[in-house]
Amino acid sequence: MLRRGERACLEVVDNGPGIAPEQRAGAFERFHRLPSANTKGSGLGLAIVKEICARHGIEIELGDGEPNADGGHGLRVTLLWPAYSATPEETGASPA
């Protein structure tokens, strides 16, 4: 788990075909498949992830992943949790 400022951050990176920047917004739609997709799948994975994130206030970002053997790059999926402030009870501090 990483941090971005006050927010917890989780990144998942692959070296697959990636998703072009202009196609990333559509990638969250149910049953969306990339025009170049040559693998099996229903196009539901990122739609499900986005719905789960929305229910928990988690922001999701898509970006470039790792370079691959085809000269392209994979996909980086970043999840950002809302900033969290511990209560005095959680930290063991005495309330003022």
What pLDDT is recorded for position 4? 87
What tokens does 7 get?
């927010």
Q: Rounded mean pLDDT of 72-96?
A: 78
Residue range 17-58, pLDDT digits in tens? 888 898 888 888 888 776 666 667 677 888 999 999 999 999
Domains of the chain, earliest start first: 2-91 (3.30.565.10)
Segment holding 94, helix H or strand E: none
What tokens does 28 get?
């969250």
How many Å apart are CA 94 and CA 86, to the nearest integer? Answer: 13
